[in-house]
């Protein structure tokens, strides 16, 4: 797009300067062409002159003057070039170049915005990873949508993505789950049964117990082991979890069980390998990882005196297996409560000779639900927390996905249920999707009135209104936006972009007649509308949202 063409032009300018002895080749690859912070500074800016000044020990404004004069001759792409501040070169693009955005979008269609920067790089995105002890909470829901949206964007930019769900179906939590289920099972049979002091209280435990009664009758009445109850509970809860994820439009490529790490001896192998490196020692009955020798502030317990491993140990083993499976970039989406364990896992991997810097962790804050301005604190039926399914029942999957992406992951998220359920332009989901539906309606009307979509005969030079040029600029920025959102693991950028695009489109629609008496102008504006529809549709699809044609 425009930015790519400008970068190529600046590269030509740089090489021209090298060829003419204005500067050396030392600055090659060290400068950028990007959108400036403020629109009054132009459409794009380059720091080439300042980079040259730092390397060549010259005056940045003198370098900028040479760059300005060379670029200004390329009027087919550039309208004007200015020097700002200490030596930034600000560039304003010619209107004719923006008009070419329409041809590009029309040509690429549903592939517009998709790219190949990933080069097929194998990426593992691990997210949700909740143990099967209950339905998904809204915190898990935010994590699920973040992880899936990151995966979608990476796929859109040419990465080879695998979505993985890591879980543990053993240990104390699962034992308590089984004991809770047994107590409810006996209760339904009319037997007295003590409920575990820290048992699982949600109504879903009764649902599991009812299934057992229907399947087994009272055959398990005298069963002393919690194992059959745990097995049944795990089966039902995983079915619930997968159903919730499916409602969100999320499907995993693989489910990985922590227990398999122990069964294959992979956890013991990590301890043995770290011990051989002199990074494991015993103290006060516990086994410690000498993390302080790996850049961390203090050593960490990896096996408690009871013999139970801490989270760090199987996590190190699991991530080592990810590398062994051929993944080149490991992305974990986790709740902010995991912040303390992440550096130790990375340190352990690095100590084992693996590329710890290829592990990227996205930590997200929690979600607060508001109704009538007050916090909604507890579920009324399914669990002792608000479940994803309850939220989906109330506002639908598109709204949940959109709202959970409206803030950066590290920001607290307040979810206003009243606003989310409203069918008004104050609701940002409605506002964006209505933009797409409005475009569809407009294009249908044009077809009915004999215009078709007008792309083949349109004279784009007729699009001269300020709002039209701004829409073209926004569409032209879309491929770069997608690439940056993917590589920086920031799907919220897509939401910001779609909201801005919707705001500009609605404003334009309210100010200008698209289908008017001037037939040639109508064709040009319909071509613009067709491309806007494409960009809206592609952007929504990339983050797992529907693009409704009517609303």
- Rounded to an integer, the average pLDDT of 143-172 is 96
Alpha helices in 83-137 (DSSP H): 95-108
Alpha helices in 380-427 (DSSP H): 388-395, 397-404, 417-421
pLDDT > 70: percent of the chain: 98
Least confident of 83-92, 153-162, 318-327: 83-92
Mean pLDDT score across all residues of the chain:
94
Beta strands in 195-285 (DSSP E): 254-257, 280-283
- What are 331's strand-pairing partners? 125, 360
- Rounded to an integer, the average pLDDT of 433-461 is 87
In this predicted structure, the answer to whether residue 1 has a pLDDT above a threshold of 90 is: no
- Rounded to an integer, the average pLDDT of 199-216 is 94
Q: Which tens digits make up the pLDDT trace of 16-48?
A: 999 999 999 999 999 999 988 888 889 999 999
Which pLDDT score is estimated for 454? 53
Is-contact 71 10, C-beta < 8 A?
A: yes
In this predicted structure, the answer to whether residue 381 has a pLDDT above a threshold of 50 is: no
Which pLDDT score is estimated for 9? 95
Q: Which tens digits make up the pLDDT trace of 248-261?
A: 999 999 999 999 99
What's the token pair of residue 165?
């769900």
Which pLDDT score is estimated for 341? 87
- Rounded to an integer, the average pLDDT of 455-480 is 92
Alpha helices in 248-299 (DSSP H): 258-263, 266-276
Which pLDDT score is estimated for 384? 67
Q: Which tens digits make up the pLDDT trace of 175-203?
A: 999 999 999 999 999 998 899 988 998 89
- Rounded to an integer, the average pLDDT of 163-167 is 97
- What are 416's strand-pairing partners? 370
Which pLDDT score is estimated for 378? 57
Q: Which tens digits make up the pLDDT trace of 485-528?
A: 999 999 999 999 999 999 999 999 999 999 998 999 999 999 99
Domains delineated in the chain: 2-93 (3.30.1360.70), 172-247 (no CATH), 425-542 (1.10.730.10)
Which pLDDT score is estimated for 383? 64
Residue 122 burial (10 A CB sphere; 0-12, 13-18, 19+):
middle
Who's near 395: CB < 8 A, 6+ residues apart? Answer: 417, 420, 421
């Amino acid at each position: 797009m425009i930015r790519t063409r400008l970068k190529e032009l600046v590269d030509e300018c740089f090489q021209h300067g090298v060829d003419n002895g204005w500067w050396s080749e030392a600055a090659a690859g060290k400068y950028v062409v990007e959108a400036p912070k403020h629109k009054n500074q132009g459409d794009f800016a380059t720091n080439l002159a300042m980079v040259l000044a730092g390397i060549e020990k010259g005056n940045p404004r003198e370098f900028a003057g040479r760059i300005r004069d060379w670029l200004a001759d390329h009027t087919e792409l550039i309208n004007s070039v200015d020097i700002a501040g200490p030596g930034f070169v600000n560039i304003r693009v010619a209107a004719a170049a923006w008009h070419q955005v329409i041809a590009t979008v029309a040509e690429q269609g549903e592939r517009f915005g998709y790219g190949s920067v990933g080069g097929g790089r194998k990426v593992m995105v691990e997210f949700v990873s909740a143990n099967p002890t209950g339905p998904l909470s809204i915190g898990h829901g935010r994590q699920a949508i973040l992880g899936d949206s990151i995966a979608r964007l990476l796929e859109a930019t040419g990465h080879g993505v695998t979505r993985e769900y890591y879980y543990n179906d053993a240990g104390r939590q699962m034992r308590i789950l089984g004991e809770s289920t047994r107590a409810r099972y006996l209760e339904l049979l009319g037997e007295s049964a003590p409920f575990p002091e820290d048992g699982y209280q949600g109504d879903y435990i009764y649902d599991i117990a009812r299934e057992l009664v229907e399947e087994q009758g009272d055959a398990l009445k005298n069963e002393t082991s919690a194992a059959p109850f745990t097995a049944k509970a795990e089966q039902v809860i995983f079915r619930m979890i997968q159903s919730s994820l499916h409602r969100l439009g999320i499907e995993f490529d693989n489910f990985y069980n922590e227990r398999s790490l122990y069964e294959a001896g992979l956890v013991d192998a990590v301890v043995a390998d770290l011990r051989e490196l002199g990074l494991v020692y015993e103290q006060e009955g516990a086994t410690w990882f000498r993390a302080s020798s790996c850049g961390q502030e203090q050593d960490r317990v990896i096996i408690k005196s009871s013999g139970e491993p801490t989270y760090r140990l199987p996590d190190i083993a699991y991530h080592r297996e990810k590398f062994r499976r051929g993944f080149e970039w490991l992305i974990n989406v986790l709740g902010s409560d995991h912040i303390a364990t992440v550096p130790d896992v990375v340190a352990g991997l690095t100590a084992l000779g693996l590329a710890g810097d290829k592990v990227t962790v996205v930590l997200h804050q929690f979600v607060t639900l508001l109704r009538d301005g007050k916090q909604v604190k507890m579920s009324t039926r399914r669990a002792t927390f608000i479940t994803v399914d309850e939220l989906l029942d109330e506002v639908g999957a598109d709204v949940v996905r959109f709202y959970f992406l409206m803030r950066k992951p590290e920001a607290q998220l307040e979810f206003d249920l009243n606003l989310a359920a409203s069918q008004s332009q104050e609701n940002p989901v409605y506002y964006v999707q209505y933009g797409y539906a409005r475009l569809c309606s407009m294009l249908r009307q044009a077809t009915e009135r004999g215009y078709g979509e007008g792309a083949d005969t349109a004279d784009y030079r007729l699009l001269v209104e300020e709002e039209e040029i701004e829409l073209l600029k926004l569409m032209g920025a879309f491929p770069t936006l997608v690439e940056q959102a993917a590589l920086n693991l920031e799907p919220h950028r897509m939401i910001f972009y779609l909201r801005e695009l919707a705001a500009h489109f609605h404003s334009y629609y309210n100010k200008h007649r698209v289908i008017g008496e001037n037939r040639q102008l109508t064709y040009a504006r319909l071509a613009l509308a067709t491309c806007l529809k494409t960009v809206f549709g592609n952007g929504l699809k990339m983050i797992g949202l529907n693009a409704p044609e009517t609303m």
